[in-house]
Amino acid sequence: MSRGTLDQLLEIGWVRMRGRRRSPGRPVTYGTTDSFLVHFGLAAITDLPGLQELKGAGLLDANLPPDFDIPVPAPLSELAADEDPLADEEAEAALEKDEVEPAEEDGPEEPRSI
């Protein structure tokens, strides 16, 4: 089974579940962790490059739509105004999911029945 990008980021501990958006469907929101900051040599999440820096480095097209914006990241401990904290059960599940399972030996993967 192929794992998605978010699953991999959760597994290595660079992102975590942080809350639920106050919008239809109550989607889960994610935030970076201290491990992410340490790995990339950042003192704070606000040290990530902004729109002008990304354009100047040639990483974004100069012809972006006029309403294009990169949100200013919030500190790790703060929820946005439109977020609620995770429920206790969700927080426990997130902590359990963060526990790293031992890596499997490389070898042929056994077929799984559906």
Task: Specify the pLDDT at position 112.
Answer: 42
The chain-wide mean pLDDT, for the chain, equals: 77
Q: What percent of the chain has pLDDT over 70?
A: 71
- Measure the CA–CA gap between 71 and 45, rounded to whole angstroms: 12
In a domain, 33, yes or no: yes
Q: Torsions phi, psi of 83, nearest 5?
A: -120, 150
Does 19 reside within a domain?
yes
The answer to whether 49 and 60 have CB atoms below 8 angstroms apart is no
What mean pLDDT is predicted for residues 3-9?
Answer: 89
Is residue 15 in some structural domain? yes
Query: Is there a domain that residue 107 lies in?
Result: no
Query: Does residue 73 contact residue 104 with C-beta atoms inside 8 Å?
Result: no
- Domain count along the chain: 1
Measure the CA–CA gap between 90 and 96, rounded to whole angstroms. Answer: 10
Bigger pLDDT: 37 or 93?
A: 37
Residue 49 lies in a domain: yes
Is residue 113 included in any domain, yes or no? no
Which residue range is the domain that position 73 belongs to?
5-96
* Predicted local confidence at residue 40, as pLDDT: 92
For the residues 5-15, what does the mean pLDDT come to? 93
Give the CATH number of the domain where residue 64 resides. Answer: 1.10.10
